[in-house]
Structure formats: C-alpha cells, structure tokens
Amino acid sequence: QVQLVESGGGVVQPGESLRLSCAASGFAFSTYAMHWVRQAPGKGLEWVAAISFNGYNAYYADSVKGRFSISKDNFKNTLYLDMISLRPEDTAVYYCARLGYCSGGGCFYYGMDVWGQGTTVTVSS
C-alpha cells in the first residue's frame, strides 16, 4: 500500500546536526513533489521544506533557510532532510508528505494526501 516511513529523529544538543529520512513505497515516488512539515509540542502544523518531483527545485520556510536542506533520491525512493545548527525551537515531530505529481500532461496538486507517521527531533542541552 501507499506508505511513507520517517526515521532519523533523536535527541541532540543545540548546534548539532541530524539527517531525517522518509522511505516511500506503493507509488511512483519519482513523479511526486515531497514536503516536510513539523509540529512543535502542543502547537500547530508548520510547513518546513519542499522539493520538486525531479529534485531540481527546493524551497524552505524562512525559519530554516540556510540550515536545512531537502533532497530526494528517486532511485532509492527516499526523501531526506539534512538539518544543521539545530536550535531548541526546532524541537518537533517531523512529518514527510507528498503533494502534487507530475506527468507528461503537467503537474497536479491535490493537497497533502499521504503523510508519514512522524519522527521526533528534540534539541536540548
């Protein structure tokens, strides 16, 4: 079935780095744009980063620009989020989600219809 499974979360100290992974299965990963969304404890959803279906274009929220890097390996069906210079305010559950697929007929957007279960990142000294 269609599935996204995140991994790589953990407890780190401020200033440290972490790489999150999101393994996709059950759909044509190479045709989908992918996103990372996070949720701080007790807070709402915050869009973090996005990458185009082919991995050529990446976009970031201002809060993570210059510190986070999103990438996509269409051969391994895996999405990544490399995070450096982590701050306590980066503490959150990080979800990967798919939004929008592209085919020969163009790109189509139907909202974030598949989400992973989330991986928790805690930044604390």
Q: What is the dihedral of CA 36, 78, 112, 94, to 10 degrees?
A: -30
Q: How many CA atoms lie within 13 A of 17 on its CB side?
A: 8
Tell me, residue by residue from 43 to 82, as one string, x for binding to other proteins by CB under 8 A and - for no binding.
-xxxx--x--------x-----------------------
Which CB, 18 or 50, lies closer to other proteins? Answer: 50
Burial pattern 6-43, b for ≥16 Cβ within 10 A else e, equals bebbeebeeeeebebbbbbeebebbbbbbbbbbeeeee
Q: Is 119 in the site for other proteins (CB under 8 A)?
A: no
Residues between 31 and 50 that touch other proteins (CB under 8 A): 35, 37, 44-47, 50
Which CB, 27 or 115, lies closer to other proteins? Answer: 115
Shortest Å distance, C-beta 1 to other proteins: 12
Whether 17 and 86 have beta carbons less than 8 Å apart is answered as yes
Question: Could you tell me which stretch among 11-19, 70-78, 84-92, 112-120 binds other proteins (CB under 8 A)?
Answer: 112-120
Q: Which residues bind other proteins (CB under 8 A)?
A: 35, 37, 44-47, 50, 59, 95, 99-100, 107, 109-113, 115-118
